[in-house]
Structure 1
Amino acid sequence: MRRLLSINPWLYLLLFVLLGGAVLAQQYRLFERAWFSVQEWRHGAQWREQSLWLGDYRVVIEARPIADIRDVSALTYDPDRSSLFSVTNKPARVIELNLQGELLRTIDLEGFGDPEAIEYVGLGTYVIADEREQRLVKVRIDDGTAVLDAADFQQLSLGIGRNGNKGFEGLAYDAQGQRLLVAKERDPVRIFEVLGFPHADESKPLALQVNTDPKRDARLFVRDLSSLDFDSATGHLLALSDESRLVIELNAAGEPVSTLSLLRGQHGLQHGVPQAEGIASDQAGNLYLISEPNLFYLFRKPAD
């Protein structure tokens, strides 16, 4: 009897450790990630030919500081200017970068509470997401733009599942489908599909539609969403998670097909990406990523 009593505390400790490990594994979606790794290994040869296949990417520029900028958030590629745009919220600004991560200019934002994302949607036209207000603002930017006042532009407030500072965190645009994809950061992670905004023909009534895909969102084995990017060549969506240190490629059916880890030692990274906030791609398949406070990354597939 004494021997059994002496063993019991160790059994309780073991059970506590196992239970705690299971809770953490569930919280960090480790079971889903492990299962996806098996699927990725099994179907790699087939999926590689039909996707970006993020596993092949290697870092080319790592953690290059962006001048004296702070609080960078989101990233989008402008094919007309061959440059990148991001936003900061302290102070509220749009910044333009070249493809090596060098600062080209800044544009002040007025009337924006907490700008968290910017997305190119057409020649000189962008959408900026205001996180706390869950507001989308269509803006115009040209060579002479120095200030953008939200009051001057078309706006859309959705107010879906308001949750403090866990609102709209990322944008992507499917030009062919004319749909704006909007990421809700967490609690829960969601991707909304907005049709009808930005309003292309203001002479006609606004026909707005907001769709969700619960099955796709449930497949996102990440703790949060920081940014989105739509690849027109494949029709696939890239979803960036800061807390999970991961980029997931989703096919047109919303199924994960490849991943890019942002941890130290992966894809040639000498150090882990500290706080990934934005991702964008260009027509050549290059991937651009930014991290707070002001770090720039470029990932590229090695030449065959």
Structure 2
Amino acid sequence: MRLAFKSTLAVMAGAALLLAIAVGQYFRFFEQTWFHFGQWREADQREAASLWLPDYRAEIQAQPVEGIEDDLSALTFDPDRNSLIAITNGNPQLLELSLDGKLLRAITLVGFGDPEAIEYVSPGVYVVSDERPQRLLRVEVDEQTRVIDAATSQQLSLGIGQNGNKGFEGLAYDVVGKRLFVAKERDPVRIYEVQGFPYAPGDQPLAVHVTEDLERDADLFVRDLSSLQYDEQTGHLLALSDESRLVVELDIHGKPISTLSLRAGNHGLTADVPQAEGLAMGPDGTVFLVSEPNLFYRFRKGG
């Protein structure tokens, strides 16, 4: 009887160990733990060559955006207007926000099924991703714009690993290299680089090249991707993960170099960021973030 009991305990312990390993792999705990150890050990070296997200602090957090009730998604910084551009996907709209999260303007989007990301490209020009059909749309906005119709927009469809509502969730643009980074949310997590789109009206469409870096994507220890941001000064990418509650800085080789945790107790946050959907960065390095249903955050280095 005692031998059978011990045998049962051993089986249960083994099963618990296997379960713990499976959970750890699913949530990428082991990779995150190893990364954080390296980040601490090589802090001085990494800080000198990066944005160094551990130094950022929340100076505005969980501030509701008045005039928006739900579905606040995506964010980009417009250097010409010195404002932020966002979208909503339930009742599709393009929004302009001040740098302290106040709603300045709302433009109706027509013919957009599930817009999930927006990115500034040039004065008055943005790219919007429509998640489920995996299409990218070039849209133009000026002071007189009241409605944007997808039917009149330059479009590019990419049927890459289509998986229902797990399509393109994030965009970032490299102005110098003319590269559009496109984040696939999950199953699997991917960051594609698109060259040749968008192009200026009147120009002949260039050959569109889509590339991926499987080694870089394998090193991304996050469960999903919600948004991207490209930093022109360092050439680094910021990748936002809602499910992992993390912003990860990737160096020019695609290697994780620093992180900003979106959990309570980190970076001055008093509560977890509930559903981070959009990320943008100003020219001074200020990081802006929006979270569904309508929450606004601002992080500043040393703040």
Would you call these one fold, judging by a TM-score over 0.5?
yes
RMSD of aligned C-alpha atoms?
Answer: 1.0
Q: Tell me the distance in 2 between the aligned counterparts of 1:224 and 1:202.
A: 37
- Per the TM alignment, residue 78 of structure 1 is displaced from its structure 2 partner at its CA by 0.2
Q: Tell me the distance in 2 between the aligned counterparts of 1:33 and 1:126.
A: 34
Q: Tell me the distance in 2 between the aligned counterparts of 1:260 and 1:9.
A: 43
Give the aligned partner of residue 25 of structure 2. Answer: 26
Letter in 1 for 2:11: Y
Matched, 1:17 2:16: yes
Q: Tell me the distance in 1 between the aligned counterparts of 2:157 and 2:102.
A: 33
User: Aligned runs of 1:132-281 on 2, under 5 Å?
Assistant: 132-200=132-200, 202-281=202-281
- Per the TM alignment, residue 201 of structure 1 is displaced from its structure 2 partner at its CA by 6.2
Q: Tell me the distance in 1 between the aligned counterparts of 2:49 and 2:5.
A: 59
- Aligned residues with identical type, % of pairs: 58
Letter in 1 for 2:78: D
- Alignment check: 8 A CA contact 2:230 2:237 kept: yes
Give the aligned partner of residue 113 of structure 2. Answer: 113
Give the aligned partner of residue 44 of structure 2. Answer: 45
Q: Tell me the distance in 2 between the aligned counterparts of 1:177 and 1:74.
A: 22
- Per the TM alignment, residue 205 of structure 1 is displaced from its structure 2 partner at its CA by 3.9
- Per the TM alignment, residue 42 of structure 1 is displaced from its structure 2 partner at its CA by 2.0
Which range moved further: 236-245 or 3-12? Answer: 3-12
Deviations 1:162-201 (A, max 9, x none): 1000000000000010000000000000000000000136
Letter in 1 for 2:274: P
Give the aligned partner of residue 76 of structure 2. Answer: 76
Letter in 2 for 1:207: A
Give the aligned partner of residue 35 of structure 2. Answer: 36
Give the aligned partner of residue 54 of structure 1. Answer: 53
Q: Tell me the distance in 2 between the aligned counterparts of 1:296 and 1:286.
A: 13
Q: Tell me the distance in 2 between the aligned counterparts of 1:298 and 1:67.
A: 16
- Indicate the SS of the match to 2:9: helix
TM-score by length of 1: 0.97
Q: Tell me the distance in 2 between the aligned counterparts of 1:100 and 1:204.
A: 40
- Indicate the SS of the match to 1:38: helix
Question: Relative to 1, partners in 2 of residues 1:268 and 1:90: Cα closer, same or farther, differing over 3 Å?
Answer: same
Letter in 2 for 1:167: G
Letter in 1 for 2:66: A
Give the aligned partner of residue 123 of structure 1. Answer: 123
Q: Tell me the distance in 2 between the aligned counterparts of 1:196 and 1:295.
A: 34
Q: How many residues align?
A: 302
- Indicate the SS of the match to 1:86: strand
TM-score by length of 2: 0.98
